[in-house]
């Protein structure tokens, strides 16, 4: 079955995502959409120049919402990262809301009925807002959430205990922002609980995961490679019906909000929410993050 993936918002993250989709052969058709005149068309032409050197072929379409009708996945990465202040992703609430308000009716009119993956920040707030704007099941609208934060945590643990990052398992959860936390009760290194490594400074690793993006942002003024990789992995899990677990931003009925937590991802988006088995402190941190996201969603609703 032919696979179609759409990317809306062809900035640093969007074009890196598109490049990964094409060079890894993740889709048979890639639809790129951007509001800046000529931008998606230019990136389409640039990507077409790479096709002769690849072992796969991807049909490339620019700025055609109708081509998203039967898309398996649409990745939304529109927004304006330049408005971020003091390392606060919530600085993007106004610009992200405006982008969603512009795109949502066009996406709905296209007949799109696949899975939407939000990358734009504040991710958890944006996912909740998308769920209000589109007539899709909540399971079909997710965000990258704390998946990238989880990868940053895993990298830091791997460096601390000198193992390959693939041998570290566990999750960061909560808000993709200041109120994220590492669920240390879930972290394993070669199947050993992290508590079996007494010399590992957990607080320092948690902080490294939380601030990792800002260290990159201070120099580059954006991040792209990590988040694009996560978006592609989640998109592939949808296309493959992989039933793979990611700490996505997804609806949690207990708190009635989208929040970063382990979710099983397949063809229809969220298949289920595996039990988390958190410690008491982690339960409290998760609840606190949920309240923070709700407060920020209220700020979005208050915008004209």
Do the beta carbons of residue 196 and residue 168 sit within 8 Å?
A: no
Distance CA 298, CA 292 (A): 10
Distance CA 125, CA 286 (A): 15
Q: Give the gyration radius of the chain's Cα atoms.
A: 19
Catalytic site includes residue 113: no
Catalytic one among 12, 176, 261, 288?
Answer: 176
Active site residues: 176
């Amino acid at each position: 079955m032919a696979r179609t993936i759409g990317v809306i918002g062809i900035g640093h993250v969007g074009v890196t995502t598109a490049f990964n989709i094409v060079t890894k052969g993740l889709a048979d058709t890639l639809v790129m959409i951007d509001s800046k005149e000529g931008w998606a068309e230019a990136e389409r032409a640039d990507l077409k120049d790479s096709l002769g050197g690849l072992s796969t072929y991807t049909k490339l379409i620019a700025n055609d919402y109708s081509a998203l009708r039967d898309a398996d996945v649409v990745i939304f990465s529109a927004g304006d990262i330049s408005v971020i202040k003091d390392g606060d992703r919530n600085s993007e609430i106004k610009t992200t809301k405006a982008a969603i308000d512009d795109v949502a009716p066009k996406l709905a009119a296209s007949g799109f009925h696949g899975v939407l993956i939000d990358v734009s920040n504040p991710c958890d707030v944006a996912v909740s807002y998308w769920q209000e704007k589109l007539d899709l099941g909540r399971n079909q609208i997710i965000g990258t959430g704390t998946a990238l934060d989880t990868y940053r945590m895993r990298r830091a643990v791997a460096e601390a205990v000198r193992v390959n990052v693939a041998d570290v398992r566990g999750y960061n959860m909560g808000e993709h922002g200041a109120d994220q936390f590492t669920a240390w009760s879930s972290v394993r290194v070669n199947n050993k609980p992290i508590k079996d490594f007494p010399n590992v400074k957990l607080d320092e690793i948690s902080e490294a995961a939380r601030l990792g993006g800002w260290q990159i942002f201070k120099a580059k003024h954006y991040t792209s490679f990590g988040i694009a990789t996560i978006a592609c992995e989640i998109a592939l899990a949808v296309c493959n019906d992989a039933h793979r677990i990611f700490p996505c931003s997804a609806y949690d009925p207990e708190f009635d909000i989208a929040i970063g937590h382990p979710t099983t991802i397949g063809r229809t988006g969220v298949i289920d929410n595996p039990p988390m088995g958190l410690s008491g402190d982690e339960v409290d941190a998760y609840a606190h993050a949920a309240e923070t996201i709700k407060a920020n969603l209220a700020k979005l609703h208050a915008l004209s």
